[in-house]
Amino acid sequence: MHQGRSKAVNEALACGLGFFSIGLGVAELIAPRLFVRAAHARVSENVIRLYGVREIITGVGILMAWNRGPWLWGRVAGDALDIASVRKPAAMAALAGVTALDIAAATAETREENRPPPRLFDYSDRSGFPRPAHEMRGAARAKKERASSPLSPEARISP
C-alpha cells in the first residue's frame, strides 16, 4: 500500500476509535447499571462512571492531539482495566476485540511517528517568474487599472 493511503487508513482507524471512545464514555456515564449487569462487572456503578469519564477524555485526546500515540496507548491501558473489571466471557471477548484494534492503531501511529520523513522534492526554484517573486509584485496592476471594473464580465486585463 502507498504510504499516503496507509497513513489515511491509520488516521481513519484512530479517528473511529476516538469517536467510539466518546460514545462509549457517554453511555457509561448515562447508564452505568446497564454495563454492570450486562458484563457482570466486578466494580460499582460509580466506578463505571469514572471509566466513562476516562473514555471521553481519551477519545477527545485522540481526535484533537497533534500527537495521537500516547492517547491510543492510553486506550490500550484502559482496555486492560476494563477486562479486569468484568466476569462475563462474552464481555471479555468483546473487550479483547476492541483491545486488538487499539493495539493495531497505537502501533501504526507509533510506527508513523518514528518513520523517517519522506524524501522531499525541492521546488524552491520553481517560481515561474523571470525575476524574484517580490520584484514581480504588482506587475499586472497597471494594466488591470485600465479595465473598467474587475468584477464586471466586460473586465479585460489586456488593452
Query: Which residues contact another protein by CB under 8 A?
Result: 2-5, 11-12, 14-15, 18-19, 62-64, 66, 68, 119-130, 133-134, 136-141, 144, 150-151, 153-158
Least distance CB 91 / another protein (angstroms): 28
In this structure, what C-alpha cell is assigned to residue 109?
501511529
135: nearest Cα among 123, 143, 127: 127
Residue whose CB is less far from another protein, 54 or 68: 68
Residue whose CB is less far from another protein, 10 or 85: 10
Gap between the Cα atoms of 44 and 42, Å rounded: 7
Residue whose CB is less far from another protein, 92 or 147: 147
Contact by Cβ (8 Å): 87, 40 = yes
